[in-house]
């Protein structure tokens, strides 16, 4: 009898599950894998800051920028390398784990024997007024392209002397906020120089915590601070965002932190473009679907990555809360969980009763800082500059090798590297 494994989400965790299942099942296992995602492609999110800032003044560049981060699922696309994996584009709107059926927005019902929930997380707006409407969150390829377009339009207005400058606020001083702010600063300077545009720009990073990149050791955080200042980026730590308006961001100091915020009183910062990079939250639909969730709304799973109360539903990646523990919401961790899910699924399908517990690891960070520059810290060790950048490129390659056959992986990595190197 054929076992049908349905995976919801073709991000890091879902894709890794599909690839490992396909690579390690034998024809006798009779496994059919259906990967469902609402998008037609898998997006390598760690590089979308390059799409947001790439070749701002160059028309027709979108295609090559997209190629370095997106792997299309369609039949002529990349999943053809994995014979027993099929892809269906669709938005899942309901899950019935008892009847073993999921519903798509098209009205179609899809049956499964085993289900993998790998739907990721959503941008955390903290319910702040105006974020949804007036800010663009850096969480998808579409939004990265929107940011690029808006920024290019603002620069064109400068070129035509319709505005004196560009004001940008990046909310969140974590890795995503820092990488997009530094790359944007570099891109705006390049655009000014190469296209002779007279334009004063100002980028402000706003963060509620005491410093940017607070998860790095203090050396790493200090290096990033110094580099951002050199690039001309203003940093406002200890500062809360209270509201986002179409052309301003209302901020006030974090009263718990003395003398950290540059703002003594509530202030409106000018912002023609507000980029939201303030972290992630759980998807509200999971509780509506009656799935077991923890107090933060993430799906509760056992160390075997089986969803609480079931043997046939697994959870992986940003969606999972493993016995209440907060796992690192990181790409390599999501991929590792996908691999563990695949291994356990194979055990269940082969009738074995003992499953392996997933052990999370601490993964190093390598955060790009504009151009051929990045900072990486692992415990007390800090690597930066071009060496940090080389490490970052090696991490990107390792990822592509994890999900693609070797020659294809090198080709996608090389293509993206070449397209983005022009920015560096
Ligand atoms: C801008 C950005 C940069 C990042 N940079 C790094 C980095 O440098 N290093 C690092 O380690 N981590 C990074 N991360 C974090 C990392 O990308 C996440 O931890 C990782 O994507 C989690 O993988 P996942 O598979 O759980 O979710 P995702 O990769 O988010 O995949 C979830 C998938 O589910 C699909 N989906 C959701 N709901 C539905 C539905 N109802 N129906 C159908 N499909 C659905 C989505 O379309 C998506 O494809 C970054 C994240 C962002 C946003």
Average model confidence (pLDDT) for the chain? Answer: 93
pLDDT in tens, 233-285: 999 999 999 999 999 999 999 999 989 999 999 999 999 999 999 999 999 99
Q: Give the model's pLDDT for residue 424.
A: 64
Tell whether ligand 1 has an atom less than 6 A from the beta carbon of residue 103: no
Domain 131-276 has CATH 3.30.70.100: no
If one residue of 42, 89, 119 were mutated to test the ligand 1 pocket, choosing by the most ligand atoms within 8 A of its CB, it would be 119
3-38+90-121+282-349 has which CATH code?
3.50.50.60
Pocket test for ligand 1, best of 6, 7, 10, 12 (most atoms within 8 A of CB): 12
Q: How confident is the model at residue 380 (pLDDT cuts 50, 70, 90)?
A: confident
CA-nearest residue, atom 5 of ligand 1? 46
Ligand 1 atom 19: residue of nearest CA: 330
Distance from residue 120's CA to the centre of ligand 1 (Å)? 5
What pLDDT does residue 316 have?
A: 97
Position 76 confidence tier, pLDDT thresholds 50, 70, 90: low
Residue to probe by mutation, ligand 1, list 18, 146, 330, 388, most atoms within 8 Å of CB? 330
Whole-model pTM: value is: 0.94
* Closest C-alpha among 222, 207, 218 to residue 260: 207
- Give residue limits of the domains in the chain: 3-38+90-121+282-349, 131-276, 365-421
Any atom of ligand 1 within 6 Å of the Cβ of 272: no
Residue with tokens 């074995």: 352
Is the minimum distance from the CB of 187 to ligand 1 under 6 angstroms? no
Given this chain, do its domains 3-38+90-121+282-349 and 131-276 carry the same CATH topology? yes
Tens-place pLDDT, residues 317-374: 999 999 877 788 999 999 999 999 999 999 999 999 899 999 988 888 899 999 899 9
């Amino acid at each position: 009898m054929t076992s049908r494994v349905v995976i919801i989400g073709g991000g890091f965790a879902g894709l890794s599950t599909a690839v490992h299942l396909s690579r390690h099942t034998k024809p006798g296992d009779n496994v059919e894998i259906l990967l469902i995602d609402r998008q037609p492609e898998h997006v390598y999110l760690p590089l979308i800051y390059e799409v947001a800032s790439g070749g701002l003044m160059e028309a027709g560049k979108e295609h090559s920028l997209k190629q370095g981060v997106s792997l299309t699922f369609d039949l002529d696309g990349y999943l053809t390398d994995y014979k027993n994996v099929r892809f269906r584009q669709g938005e899942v709107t309901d899950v019935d784990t008892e009847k073993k059926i999921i519903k798509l927005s098209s009205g179609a019902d899809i049956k499964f024997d085993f289900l993998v929930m790998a739907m990721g997380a959503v941008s955390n707006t903290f319910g702040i007024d105006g974020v949804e409407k007036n800010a663009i969150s850096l969480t998808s390829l579409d939004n990265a392209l929107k940011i690029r377009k808006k920024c290019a339009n603002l620069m064109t207005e400068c070129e035509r002397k319709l505005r004196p400058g560009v004001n940008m606020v990046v909310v969140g001083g974590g890795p995503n906020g820092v990488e997009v702010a530094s790359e944007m600063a570099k891109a705006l300077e390049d655009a000014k120089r190469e296209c002779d545009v007279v334009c004063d720009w100002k980028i402000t990073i706003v963060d509620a915590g005491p410093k940017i990149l607070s998860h790095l050791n203090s050396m790493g955080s200090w290096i990033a601070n110094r580099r951002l200042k050199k690039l001309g980026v203003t940093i406002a730590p200890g500062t809360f965002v209270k509201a986002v308006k179409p052309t301003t961001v209302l901020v006030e100091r974090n009263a718990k932190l003395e003398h950290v915020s540059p703002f003594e009183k509530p202030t409106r910062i000018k912002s023609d473009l507000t980029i939201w990079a303030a972290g992630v939250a759980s998807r509200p639909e999971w509780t509506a679907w009656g799935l077991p969730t923890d107090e933060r709304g993430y799906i509760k799973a056992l160390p075997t990555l089986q969803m609480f109360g079931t043997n046939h539903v697994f959870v992986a990646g940003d969606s999972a809360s493993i016995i209440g523990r907060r796992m690192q919401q990181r790409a390599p961790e999501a991929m590792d969980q996908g691999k563990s899910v695949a291994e356990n699924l194979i055990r269940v399908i082969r009738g074995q009763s003992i499953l392996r517990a997933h052990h999370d690891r601490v993964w190093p960070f390598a955060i790009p800082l504009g151009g051929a520059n990045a900072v990486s810290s692992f415990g007390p060790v800090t690597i930066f500059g071009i060496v940090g950048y080389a490490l970052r490129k090696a991490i990107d390659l390792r990822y592509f090798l994890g999900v693609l056959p070797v020659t294809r992986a090198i080709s996608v990595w090389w293509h993206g590297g070449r397209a983005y190197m022009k920015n560096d």
